């Protein structure tokens, strides 16, 4: 489900809230933002925040022309569930019009990348450069 977020849209960006169902029925929600000035296919970044953090947009990435998908990881998830959550959000990125499938990257604010990102990269087995 995609819902427009008029309160966050503006300043050169279009923002929607997304809600997905994980493989086990758990709800995953987050924000999808795209720069409106950028024409054609654009790269995208997928990020996660902890269960107590609200998803916030990285304006620097948006200004650089990236679309951004940032989602809140549900509390108490096992590693394998977190990996599948990342894959599910990546699927959303791949299916979103205007996003270059070959330019989707997993981004982390932490210098040590989360295990679920490392595993998700391996599962894609080189199919995508994330």
Radius of gyration of the chain (CA): 14
What pLDDT shows up at residue 128? Answer: 53
pLDDT in tens, 62-75: 888 899 999 999 89
Please say whether the beta carbons of 110 and 116 come within 8 A: no
Give the dihedral of Cα atoms 24, 80, 46, 98; nearest 10 deg: -50
> 91: domain range?
2-102+119-124
**68 is a domain residue:** yes
Start-end of H helices in the chain? 59-63, 79-95, 115-124
Q: Quick check: 14 pLDDT over 90?
A: no
Residues with Cβ within 8 Å of 34's Cβ and at least 6 positions away in sequence, in order, are 13, 14, 42, 62, 67, 68, 98, 99
**108 is a domain residue:** no
**107 is a domain residue:** no
Structurally, the chain folds into a number of domains equal to: 1
What pLDDT shows up at residue 63? Answer: 85
What pLDDT shows up at residue 37? Answer: 78
**Which domain CATH number covers 22?**
3.40.50.1820
């Amino acid at each position: 489900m995609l819902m427009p977020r008029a309160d966050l849209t503006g300043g050169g960006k279009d923002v929607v809230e997304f809600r997905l169902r994980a493989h086990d029925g758990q709800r995953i929600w987050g924000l999808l933002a795209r720069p409106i000035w950028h024409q054609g296919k654009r790269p995208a970044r997928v990020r996660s925040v902890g269960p107590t953090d609200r998803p916030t947009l990285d304006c620097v990435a948006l200004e650089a022309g990236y679309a951004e998908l940032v989602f809140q990881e549900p509390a108490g998830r096992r590693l394998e569930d977190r990996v599948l959550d990342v894959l599910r959000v990546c699927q959303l990125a791949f299916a979103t019009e205007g996003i270059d499938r070959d330019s989707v990257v997993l981004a982390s604010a932490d210098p040590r990348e989360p295990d679920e990102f490392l595993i998700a990269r391996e599962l894609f087995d080189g199919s995508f450069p994330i």
